[in-house]
């Protein structure tokens, strides 16, 4: 597709509005968003998907998965999970991913990663296909793109992180100028090629300390020798900060050994917590490297924000905040809402309560074998509840019950309060909107909590009741059952 100018788009939109007399979602001031991938529009048709969104759930904002190599937001249902009661009744076993809009080569001069066109739906540009219809209905359109790649892409190798053990990782390094160049290129491409209303970027990753100690759901599988990043760009940045690279490598190597010992149930003589803390005191470079990694991620937020505003000051820029924010107190400490004021118009804080149950159990299981190895898992769960101000189910009941709407309410209040307390550097900036991510049918394991309409109604009500400026139904339409989608609408109309 050739690059459409904003004027051409405006014309298309005007024609579409007049011709079809399509319903327009009334503007209520609240953003009621939904995450949706190209595959749903291809399978079910743009008009019928948008009709349903408006009719069933009062949706007024589309968060279209424009870029990802992950099926989680961009594909159909995860193979093995039950297919929902709409869309094509088969799995997309050949899912590939990439850029689901057109890629305009002129923007990608500062990165070797250029060939990113998703081959999944040949000839279908999701933004060009959805924008005219969406805008004629006054639905906002956000590009939703995430930090998820695959290793077999042409030109990706120079951008990849390097692990502690010296291997190339599947993830990209934020301190590598080509990686910053890539995100800048993609952002500029979206904003100059399409009249979108905003962008939302997400990076579900954490620094090497949290990663090494397995402080995440699914964290028990993390190999502490494969934490990142120790590439030349990171080493250069470390030197500029006065961090001794060799000491950091040594510290992380010892940390990896301690994690391995802890996991094999060799209780250190002085206990787990003391041994981990002792290592942090002996090697402050461990936390210095953790901060270095975090600063790289934050600079990506800041760079996307500044570039977007320089192209179009009215564009709305915000971030998907990873679910680990609800589990790991270490990761949570690094997500400072007040600091986000410097480069955010909105935050989609993930508050997936149903899958949150099994995920929290997985986090507890992981850290009760490392830094909290002195405690049984029940005690670690209790500690987590106390540190994070939750009142939820016992370890036995949690996988089946999930987290409650009360968790959504508490986390919404915390986020709203957090962004309202300005950091000194951001006094003059306006307060970012809080749009909690609401869980509708996010896959869980066998015998684990599944979403029911009542869960959705309660979660939406809890978020809005606690002061949220909207909600984003997640993670993607192609895995949602219709009764659960309609439940969101029922809560909004009540
Ligand atoms: Zn690096």
Paired with 347 in beta bridges are 319, 434
CA of 235 to the centre of ligand 1 (A): 7
Q: For 25-40, write each residue's pLDDT tens digit.
A: 544 689 999 999 999 9
Token look-up 């850029």 returns 99
Q: For 262-297, write each residue's pLDDT tens digit.
A: 999 778 899 999 999 999 999 999 999 999 999 999
Domain regions of the chain by residue span: 6-205+316-493
Report the pLDDT value the prediction gives residue 27, as an integer from 0 to 100: 45
What is this structure's pTM? 0.94
Whole-number Å distance between alpha carbons of 237 and 336: 23
* Torsion sign, CA atoms 66, 35, 363, 71: negative
Cβ 233 vs Cβ 176: under 8 Å: yes
- Indicate the burial class of 187 (C-beta count within 10 angstroms; 0-12, 13-18, 19 or more): buried
Token look-up 């600091």 returns 339
CA of 332 to the centre of ligand 1 (A): 23
Report the pLDDT value the prediction gives residue 29, as an integer from 0 to 100: 85
CA dihedral 55, 61, 64, 70 (to 10 degrees): -90
DSSP secondary structure string, 67-90? EES-HHHHSSSPTTSPP-SSS-SS
* Spatial CA neighbour of 185 closest among 285, 87, 322, 303: 303
Report the pLDDT value the prediction gives residue 19, as an integer from 0 to 100: 45
- Indicate the burial class of 26 (C-beta count within 10 angstroms; 0-12, 13-18, 19 or more): exposed
Low-confidence ranges of the chain (pLDDT < 50): 1-3, 10, 13-20, 26-27
Which tokens is 385 given?
């509840």
Report the pLDDT value the prediction gives residue 427, as an integer from 0 to 100: 58
Q: Which long-range contacts (CB under 8 A, 24 or more apart) does 389-398 make?
A: 389/414, 392/357, 392/360, 393/357, 395/361, 395/364, 398/357, 398/358, 398/360, 398/361
Report the pLDDT value the prediction gives residue 221, as an integer from 0 to 100: 85
CA of 367 to the centre of ligand 1 (A): 26
CA of 11 to the centre of ligand 1 (A): 45
CA of 171 to the centre of ligand 1 (A): 10
CA of 201 to the centre of ligand 1 (A): 20
* Spatial CA neighbour of 201 closest among 145, 153, 154: 145
* Spatial CA neighbour of 463 closest among 431, 435, 421: 435
CA of 338 to the centre of ligand 1 (A): 27
CA of 228 to the centre of ligand 1 (A): 7
Specify the CATH number of the domain 6-205+316-493.
Answer: 3.20.20.80
CA of 234 to the centre of ligand 1 (A): 4
Whole-number Å distance between alpha carbons of 287 and 243: 11
Report the pLDDT value the prediction gives residue 3, as an integer from 0 to 100: 45
Report the pLDDT value the prediction gives residue 7, as an integer from 0 to 100: 52
């Amino acid at each position: 597709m050739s690059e459409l100018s904003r004027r051409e788009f405006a014309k298309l939109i005007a024609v579409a509005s007049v011709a079809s007399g399509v319903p327009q979602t009334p503007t209520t001031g609240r953003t009621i968003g939904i995450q949706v991938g190209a595959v749903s529009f291809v399978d079910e048709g743009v008009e019928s998907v948008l009709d349903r969104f408006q009719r069933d759930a009062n949706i007024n904002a589309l968060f279209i998965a424009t870029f990802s190599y992950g099926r989680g937001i961009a594909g159909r249902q995860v193979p093995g999970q039950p297919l929902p009661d709409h869309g094509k009744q088969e799995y997309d076993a050949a899912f590939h991913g990439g850029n689901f809009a057109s890629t305009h080569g002129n923007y990608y001069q500062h990165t070797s990663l250029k060939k990113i066109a998703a081959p999944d739906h040949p000839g279908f540009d999701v933004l060009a296909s959805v924008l005219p219809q969406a805008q004629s209905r006054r639905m906002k359109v956000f590009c939703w793109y995430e930090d998820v790649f695959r290793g077999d892409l042409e030109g990706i190798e120079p951008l990849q992180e390097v692990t502690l053990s010296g291997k190339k990782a599947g993830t990209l390094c934020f301190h590598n100028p080509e990686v910053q160049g890539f995100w800048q290129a993609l952002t500029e491409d979206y904003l100059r090629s399409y009249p979108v209303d905003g962008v939302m970027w997400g990076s579900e990753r954490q620094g090497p300390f949290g990663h090494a100690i397995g402080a995440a759901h699914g964290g028990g599988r993390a190999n502490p020798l494969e934490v990142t990043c120790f590439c030349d760009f990171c080493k250069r940045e470390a030197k500029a900060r006065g961090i001794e690279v060799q000491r950091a490598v040594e510290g992380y190597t010892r940390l990896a050994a301690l994690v391995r010992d802890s996991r094999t149930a060799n209780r250190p003589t002085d206990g787990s917590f003391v041994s981990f803390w002792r290592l942090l005191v002996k090697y402050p470079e461990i936390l210095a490297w953790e901060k270095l990694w975090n600063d790289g991620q934050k600079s990506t937020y800041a760079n996307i924000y500044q570039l977007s505003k320089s192209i179009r000051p009215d564009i709305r820029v915000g971030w998907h905040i990873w679910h680990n924010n609800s589990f790991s107190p270490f990761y949570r400490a690094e997500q400072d809402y007040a600091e986000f004021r410097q480069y955010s118009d909105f935050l989609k804080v993930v508050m997936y309560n149903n899958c949150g149950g099994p995920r929290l159990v997985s986090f507890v299981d992981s850290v009760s074998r490392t830094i909290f190895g002195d405690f049984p898992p029940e005690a670690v769960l209790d500690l987590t509840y106390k540190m994070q101000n939750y009142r939820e189910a016992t370890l036995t009941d949690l996988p089946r019950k999930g987290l409650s709407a009360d968790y959504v309410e508490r986390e919404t209040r915390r986020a709203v309060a957090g962004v309202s307390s300005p950091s000194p550097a951001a006094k003059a900036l306006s307060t970012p909107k809080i749009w909690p991510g609401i869980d509708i049918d996010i896959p869980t394991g066998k015998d684990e909590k599944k979403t029911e309409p009542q869960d959705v109604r309660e979660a939406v009500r809890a978020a809005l009741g606690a002061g949220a400026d909207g909600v984003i139904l997640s993670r993607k339409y192609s895995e949602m059952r219709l009764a659960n989608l309609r439940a969101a609408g029922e809560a909004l109309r009540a």
